[in-house]
Chains A and B, each alone.
Chain A
Amino acid sequence: MDCSLAEEYFGDAIDRVLPTEVEQEFRMHLEGCCKCRNAYELEGFSKQVVRDHVKYITTPKVVRAAVTKSLKAAYRESLGRGRGWIESFLSPGVFIPTLAGGVVFAAFILLLTLRNESPYDMSAHTAPNDVINLTFKNFALIRSGQFEPALVTCSPESIADFFERNKVDFAVSVLKVPCDSYSAIWSEYEGVKVAHVLYKIGGEMLYVYQISQDEALEGPKFSLPPAAKIALAKSGWYTDPNHPNCNVVVWTVNGTLCVASSTMKKDKLLAVLTTQ
């Protein structure tokens, strides 16, 4: 080992992270080279001097109080912002007409559905824990900007790594399609981990809600329409018939149940999902 190489290892030796395969050679060089030995020991002294003389200070009470005070002001501000839009919305001039319009609209929809719905609809997905229902709600939140991703990236590998890091305990499916961006977030529903992946493809959005297949089909916490369970058992795919544009597709892959909801038309959505 020559002096220039030994010098590169000074820091590692001082900080006790010298690779074992290098250590013997390094120590032998120091024993035989006075210049390097002096330089190494001086560098070690400078670390020791900093540790001995630069005292660690507890945050002074007055500083801690100032930080806490400014945080409390920030809390009040964020609370005020939250209240502000709600109180504006709930003022009589806005709320009552909105409520009246909503009641009329709901009555109209009810009338339409009552005419078409059979006593027992095998594809109905209105239960609060229905996976298709949950997918729709989340997609609506995403499109309104209320459900923000934890990760946005141009690399599908980063999405897979994200879920692995966050210990999502099933194989998250990442579609390998050319995208403007991939986004990811994970959450829990009744203690069960849920993976959410959003693809932005040329101005359109494709959102895929994913959970463990066992939890979805056999567990007590989620439900699926009977028609979906039958179709998945037969072919591994199900397209929801309650949406004329058919922008909801359910499938299983590698022990994971995936539910896609998208702004894309049916044929394009199926083309994207079936090219995997």
Chain B
Amino acid sequence: MATIKIPPVLRASVGGEREVSAEGGTVGELLAALVEAHPATATQLFGDDGELNRYVNVYLNDEDVRVLDGLATVVSEGDVLVILPAMAGGG
């Protein structure tokens, strides 16, 4: 079981929850479980090609999964998946 943290911009799609629990062995499986429980998240999280929406960053604990193994990144018991919108950094 892992915890998925939901950013404010996606909360309306998950009934206002700040975090939800999900089962899955990879990041992709966790997100698929989230979409199954809350179908309104599907079009926001994924593009037509099934890849992550480019404006969604997903972190396993604190590391961006795009520079790990993407949706295939392996998840362990108790891990936290953090979904954040892509924001411009300071400069």
A and B are partners in one complex rather than unrelated chains: no
What residues make up the interface of B, taking CB atoms closer than 8 Å to A? none
What residues make up the interface of A, taking CB atoms closer than 8 Å to B? none
